[in-house]
């Protein structure tokens, strides 16, 4: 957990031929946009009640659904289905005024009753912890919802942010009561900008514009997302015009795309940092419990080379908070110093190195990135058993507690520091030190004052 890697970068290339603006805002949707994406989509991500913490699940959340508040260009807590809200001085009562005239994809109106239903139906990460803190959720009228908690809950809004939880995302009560949870997963209905059309696991997701979306009519009528883990295949698809966008071009493929005059290269920077989470560091019998060992593992990593190869145009970072977050503390990342790393291992009693257990690189298209980290460790004597899982399987293992005792490159999903701390030290944590846990508890209590 102390070996910070860096912020994630996703590269996107767009074919210039025949791809351009689809019309002015408010015009009828038109055109088809096809994308070759580097990850597989899980069927669970179609339902906010069981959606993963993975940033990959944002795709289906933002397309098909909507939340009371959510991160938008205007800020991390942008009004959406809730047009306004109030918080009591003791942070025990939150009241949301809902936006009127919001419709689900089947034409049913969205009301406070759906919000209450969605809150209690949520069963993914943090569900037990949040529900146990809740005294009452009531719809005082069709467009007002009041949450009352048993104790101060100053960071409640953070749990509406994808990557922390999806408990604030609203689904249609009447429809789900009619078709059941299984039927809803087969044919999900939300109040997002796009309606569900088709989903083939491991192959593609198809959606079409919802012309009654409350914010504005989407410009693109139909979008198709093709799960394509192989970078070379994604590049060929966009060159042939089979898709308009291909994600994650790294290494030689990045340079190939950069040279092609028919392709446009974008380098958006994600707010998701990647850390090495050492789940066995709290076991006193594990070599990882020695801070000198963890420091050695950090010094063994050449972060700048990692960035140059796998995330061109970026560099290492020294903290997992976003710039502008008042709680962010930035510090210099460890330098690349394998000689010092070997000395630290010797001082810790491992002059010939040791076996570090199972290692799960970050999922999907980032396997080469994670494997290079393992190679850096091997160079100083730390060997690991590398296990490669696709994105849905990786997250199922992470959230199911099946990585105990392992080492994994963990995407800390929340864009806000408070959410990161909750992720690392809260219900989803694999352990903590008493002094760190005490500081975290103090932070929660202090912000409740």
pLDDT tens digit sequence for 358-404: 999 876 567 788 888 999 999 999 999 999 888 778 878 887 888 88
Which domains can be identified in the chain, with CATH numbers?
3-8+272-446 (3.10.105.10), 17-21+33-37+193-261 (3.40.190.10), 69-180 (3.90.76.10)
Rounded Cα gap, residues 363 and 355, in angstroms = 22
What's the sign of the alpha-carbon dihedral 409, 413, 415, 417?
negative
Residue 397 in tokens:
């293992």
Task: Tell the burial category of 367 from Cβ atoms under 10 Å away from its Cβ (0-12, 13-18, 19+).
Answer: middle
Q: How far is CA 349 from CA 76, 345, 357, in A?
A: 46, 6, 17
Do 218 and 29 meet the contact criterion of CB atoms below 8 Å apart?
yes
Per-residue pLDDT of the chain (449 residues; tens, 9 = 90+): 333 333 333 344 444 433 333 334 457 899 999 999 988 888 999 999 998 766 778 889 999 999 999 988 888 789 999 999 999 999 999 999 999 999 999 999 999 999 999 999 999 877 888 999 999 999 999 999 999 999 999 889 988 877 678 899 999 999 999 999 999 999 999 999 999 999 999 899 999 999 999 999 999 999 999 999 888 999 999 999 999 999 888 778 888 888 899 998 887 656 566 788 898 988 899 999 999 999 999 999 998 888 777 777 666 776 666 665 666 677 788 899 999 999 999 999 999 999 999 999 876 567 788 888 999 999 999 999 999 888 778 878 887 888 888 998 887 666 666 667 767 776 667 877 777 767 766 555 444 44
For residues 235 and 254, give the distance between their C-alpha atoms in angstroms, rounded to a whole number: 9
At 366 the three-state DSSP class reads helix
Nearest to 64 by CA among 161, 176, 209, 178: 209
DSSP code, position 67:
B
pLDDT digits (tens, 9 = 90+) for 400-426: 888 888 998 887 666 666 667 767 776
H or E element in which residue 344 lies:
helix 338-347
User: Which residue do the tokens 């996703």 mark?
Assistant: 10
Output the CA torsion 126→127→128→134 (10° steps). 110
Backbone angles phi, psi at 379, to 5 degrees: -65, -25
Q: Map residue 308 onto helix, strand or coil.
A: helix
């Amino acid at each position: 957990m102390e070996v910070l890697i860096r912020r994630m970068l996703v590269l996107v290339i767009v074919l210039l031929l025949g791809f351009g603006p689809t019309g002015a805002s408010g015009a009828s949707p038109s055109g088809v946009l096809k994308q070759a994406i580097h990850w597989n989509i899980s069927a669970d991500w179609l339902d906010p009640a069981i959606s993963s913490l993975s940033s990959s699940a944002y795709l289906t959340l933002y397309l098909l659904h909507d939340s009371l508040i959510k991160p938008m260009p205007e800020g991390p807590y942008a009004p959406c289905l809730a047009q306004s809200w109030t918080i009591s001085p003791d942070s025990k009562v939150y009241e949301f005024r809902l936006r009127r005239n919001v419709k689900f994809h089947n034409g049913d109106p969205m009301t406070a009753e759906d919000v209450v239903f969605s809150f209690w139906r949520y069963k993914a990460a943090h569900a037990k912890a949040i529900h146990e803190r809740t005294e009452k959720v009531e719809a005082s009228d069709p467009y007002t919802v009041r949450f009352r908690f048993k104790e101060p809950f100053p960071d409640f809004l953070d749990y509406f942010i994808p990557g922390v939880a999806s408990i604030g995302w609203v689904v249609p009560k009447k429809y789900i009561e009619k078709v059941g949870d299984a039927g809803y997963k087969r044919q999900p209905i939300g109040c997002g900008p796009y309606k569900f059309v088709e989903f083939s696991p491991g192959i593609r997701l198809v959606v079409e514009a919802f012309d009654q979306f409350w914010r504005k009519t989407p410009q693109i009528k139909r979008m198709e997302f093709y799960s394509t883990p192989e970078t070379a295949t994604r590049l060929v698809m966009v060159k042939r015009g089979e898709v308009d966008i291909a994600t994650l071009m790294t290494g030689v493929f990045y340079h190939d795309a950069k040279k092609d005059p028919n392709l446009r290269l974008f380098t958006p920077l994600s707010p998701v940092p990647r850390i090495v989470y050492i789940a066995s560091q709290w076991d006193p019998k594990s070599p990882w419990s020695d801070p000198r060992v963890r420091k050695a593992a950090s010094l063994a990593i050449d972060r700048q080379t990692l960035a140059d190869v796998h995330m061109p145009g970026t560099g290492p970072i020294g903290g997992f908070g976003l710039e502008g977050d008042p709680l962010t503390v930035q510090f210099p990342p460890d330098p690349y110093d394998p000689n010092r790393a070997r000395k630290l291992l010797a001082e810790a009693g491992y002059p010939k190195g040791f076996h570090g257990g199972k290692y799960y690189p970050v999922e999907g298209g980032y396997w080469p990135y994670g494997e290079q980290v393992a190679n850096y460790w091997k160079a100083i004597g730390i060997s690991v058993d590398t296990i490669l899982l696709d994105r849905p399987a990786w997250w199922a293992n992470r959230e199911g507690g099946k990585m105990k005792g392992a080492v994994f490159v963990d995407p800390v999903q929340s864009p806000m520091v408070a959410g990161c701390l909750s992720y690392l030290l809260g219900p989803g944590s694999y352990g903590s030190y008493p002094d760190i846990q005490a500081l975290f508890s103090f932070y929660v209590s202090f912000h409740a004052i």
